[in-house]
Structure 1
Amino acid sequence: MTIRDALAEALEARGVGPDQFSELMIRLLDRGVLCRDESKKETELYDRYLQVADLVEDYLSVLRIRLLHERRFHSLRLFPPGAEVPGLADSEDGFNQGLRERLSQQEVAAILVLRAEYDKALREGQIDEHGQVMLPLEAFNLASKNLLGRPLPEALTERRALFRRLRQLRLIRTASDDGLEDAETWLTIRPDITSLVTDAVLSQLTGDGPDAEAPSSEELPS
């Protein structure tokens, strides 16, 4: 029996077709993240994952890709070999390229500030039942200035591109791009931010660790 035949047989036993499994894997490998509450499609794919979770994880393990399943928040996130993953044992793999997608310095800065603001809200108990944190755009901009000495992009096109990327990474929610010039606009920071920035990296940023230097994009799993 071939691997394909064995997989098809295992899928049939779970009521999932090969094409459905392929769609799920392609989506995961292409996006690297899946959140049930993001859309009707992602709800469907997440529920399908629950039917075949062991098969998905076996498939990914052959590639040495690790999957972090945040059951409380119904989200999945993939990490390439060698990435440090909160909540999972460290891997001994030394790969640094391949599935890693290099983030721009502006994206790294924004992600670090979001993580710091999420941690602050968590300590203060300002978190909703879904593990999300509400943050005014003005506070985000101010935190960026205070922590990293750089504000958010002033040009609307650059700001929209940055927030679009953060949404693609399933790190924030925004009502639309229309309010990105309004300081009173609110962002929703998703709990997945803790999967992308470890406590060690956060300590470097806030100066609580031995080296208070902000990390580069290479220190963030992506």
Structure 2
Amino acid sequence: MLSATLTDILQAKNISTERFREITNRLFSQGIVVRDEDGVEEKLYDDALRIEDALTDFFHLAGFRLVHSHGHTYFRLYAPGAQVPGEVEDGLEEVPGLRAKLSADFVALALALRFHFNQGLCEGGSRLTDTGEVLVRFEELATTLQTQLKRQLPATVTDKLKLLAELKRHRLITYAANFSVTDEDAYIAIRPTILGIVSNEVLEAALEADDAEREAAGAEAADAVEGDAPVAEEAVPAASEGAVRAVDVGADAANNEVENEQENADEAR
């Protein structure tokens, strides 16, 4: 019965069941569809927009929440029990298997990104792009980590680039193909999608935490990275209420990124 109803809805919108699967599979695997990411996601977003109500109901039945940012043109899927910035709690139990295993460095840098995004919105000017992104130098992020969050970036250039690549995979930043962490004039663009990951309340709590809390939280995060426990809650004190849970749904996406990018390129051609 549900299948027949869904089929009727899709037919009325001229969307095939195969296309519906493509959209839902992308959201389940990546956790997000951003219209300005590339040609493939632009088409996925436009088709998802046509069947938004059906998608929302479909995910709701399984306990997921589909949030649509109209202004920044992206859909983000949240797992059951996730705390969504600006949304009331769904009252559902969390599903540990859907929790992303995020490193302490990832969580800390996400907080720094939100800090600079807020700052960029206030300052405006050349830091703010036409698409709502905020430009920041890599060294500025490093300084913010040290002075505001009392953390250091990974020591090696390779590890720094891996961290940035992970943030990029989660659609939180973009940077040029020739970007170099040693180039003082190289910019990173912080995307508005950061708003769905780190709330202002979480950021404020992180900035107000004392050194002892940060050290304790950092130790717990290191243990969690090595084990099976999720680290999003322990990485920094402010994350204890779920600072970065929006990426839970796309927890396995990073492992398949090379294959996904190749598929995207093939589809685009």
Q: Establish whether TM, by shorter chain, passes 0.5.
A: yes
Task: Specify the SS of the correspondent of 2:96.
Answer: coil
TM-score with structure 1 setting the length: 0.91
What's the CA shift for 1:88?
2.1
Q: Residues 49-68 of structure 1 correspond to what in structure 2 (within 5 A)?
A: 49-68=48-67
Structure 1: distance between partners of 2:91 and 2:241: 17
Structure 2: distance between partners of 1:217 and 1:28: 25
Match of 2:33 in 1: 34
Q: Is the 8 A contact 1:170 1:190 kept in 2?
A: yes
What's the CA shift for 1:135?
0.2
By relative contact order (CA 8 Å, sep 6+), the higher-ranking structure is: 2
Q: Residues 1-222 of structure 1 correspond to what in structure 2 (within 5 A)?
A: 2-125=1-124, 126-176=127-177, 178-207=179-208, 214-216=237-239, 219-220=242-243, 221=245, 222=247
Unpaired runs of 5+ residues, structure 2, are: 215-236, 248-269
Q: Give the superposed CA RMSD.
A: 2.1
Whichever structure has more helix as a proportion of its residues is 2
Task: Specify the SS of the correspondent of 2:176.
Answer: coil
What's the CA shift for 1:178?
4.4
TM-score with structure 2 setting the length: 0.76
Give the counterpart letter for 2:183 in structure 1.
D
Q: Encode CA deviations 1:168-222: one digit per residue, 9 max, x unaligned.
A: 11110011264123232100000111110112101112229xxx86334762213
Give the counterpart letter for 1:4 in structure 2.
S
4+ aligned runs moved over 6 Å, structure 1:
none
Structure 1: distance between partners of 2:175 and 2:160: 12
Structure 1: distance between partners of 2:88 and 2:60: 14
Structure 1: distance between partners of 2:106 and 2:204: 19
Give the counterpart letter for 1:219 in structure 2.
G
Structure 1: distance between partners of 2:164 and 2:47: 29
Structure 2: distance between partners of 1:4 and 1:66: 20
Q: Encode CA deviations 1:103-151: one digit per residue, 9 max, x unaligned.
A: 1111011101111111122222353332210001111111111122223
Which stretch shows the higher mean deviation, 16-25 or 82-91? Answer: 82-91
What's the CA shift for 1:74?
0.4
Give the counterpart letter for 2:30 in structure 1.
R
Which stretch shows the higher mean deviation, 123-132 or 134-143? Answer: 123-132
Q: Encode CA deviations 1:3-52: one digit per residue, 9 max, x unaligned.
A: 22221121111100000000000001100011100000000000000111
Unpaired runs of 5+ residues, structure 1, are: none
Q: Is the 8 A contact 1:179 1:185 kept in 2?
A: yes
Give the counterpart letter for 2:242 in structure 1.
E
Structure 2: distance between partners of 1:72 and 1:112: 22
% identical aligned pairs: 30
